[in-house]
Amino acid sequence: MTMANLETQHAVEQFLYRQAELLDGKQWQAWIDLFTDDGIYWMPPEPSHTTWEGMPAIFAEDKNLMKVRMGRVLHPDAWSQRPLWGTNHVVSNVQVVSEDSKGNIEARSRFHMMELRRDDVRHFAGSYLHKLKKTGDGYRIQLQRVDMTNAQAAYDYVLQVWV
């Protein structure tokens, strides 16, 4: 791993913080817009998986499927969305793994997400791998891999939206 320059490090960190803010703020469309048109959000059920294609996956969503999920949570009859719920993401340990000549980035980070649903609190934590494409309008996500430490445990209830 090479040491990224401070400017790049700062830009990547700010991008990840913004993503966390959009999730916690339930700004679903703005969150989806962070992805490139062929971008993928992927959460494998176990860390040994190297691709989502043809594999069981907790999430393996392109932008169309993200749109389905957004449409569902915003639908007035999404019963599980009625109760009070919210999340709080903390993103840290940001490491720029590589940067190519075009400024495209691969970055690793860690997250901790607390979720409140009715009166119940759950904690999810793990690591992100982001493949970021540099555009004239800042970074866009080509691939976000989420390895959740809890991924292999039994789920007490389910995940409603992206982590």
Partner 1 sequence: MLREAIPDLGKMVEPDRVRRELYTDPQIFELEMQRIHETVWIYCGHLSQIPKAGDYYTLQIGRQPMVMVRKADGGVSVLYNRCPHRGAMMCGDLKGNTGEFFRCSYHAWTFHHDGKLKNIPMMESGYQGTRLTRDNPDCSMKPAARVDVYRGFVFASLAKDGPSLKEFLGPSIVAFDDMCDRAPEGEVEIVPNCFRVIQHSNWKLFMENQIDALHPSVTHQSTGRAAHEVEKEIAKNTKSGEAPLSYHMLSAFATVTIDKWDSFQTINYPYGHCILTGYMGLRPQDPDTLAYDKIMIEKYGKKRFEEIVGVNIHHVLVYPGLSVQSPLQQLRAVRPLSVDRTLTEIWHFRLKGAPEAIYRRSLAYYNLVNSPATLINADDLENFWKCHQGLASDGGDWVSFARHFGRDIEKNGAVESGPNMGTSEAPMRNQMKAWARYMKG
- The residues binding partner 1 (CB under 8 A) are 43, 45-46, 54-60, 64-65, 67-73, 75-81, 83, 153-160
Residue 2 or 79: the one with the smaller Cβ distance to partner 1 is: 79
Q: What is the dihedral of CA 15, 58, 40, 2, to 10 degrees?
A: 50
- 107, two tokens: 């970055």
Residue 1 or 79: the one with the smaller Cβ distance to partner 1 is: 79
User: Which residues sit opposite 126 in a β-bridge?
Assistant: 111, 148
Q: 97 and 104 in contact (C-beta within 8 Å)? A: no
Nearest distance from residue 13's CB to partner 1, in Å?
27
DSSP-derived secondary structure letter, 58: S
Nearest distance from residue 109's CB to partner 1, in Å?
20
Measured distance CA(113)–CA(150) in Å, rounded: 11
Residue 76 or 136: the one with the smaller Cβ distance to partner 1 is: 76
Nearest distance from residue 43's CB to partner 1, in Å?
7
Residue 11 or 163: the one with the smaller Cβ distance to partner 1 is: 163
Relative to beta strand 35-43, strand 138-148 is parallel
Nearest distance from residue 140's CB to partner 1, in Å?
21
Nearest distance from residue 74's CB to partner 1, in Å?
8
Q: 99 and 8 in contact (C-beta within 8 Å)? A: yes
Q: Rounded to the nearest 5°, which phi and psi values hold at 19?
A: -60, -45
DSSP-derived secondary structure letter, 48: T
Residue 1 or 153: the one with the smaller Cβ distance to partner 1 is: 153
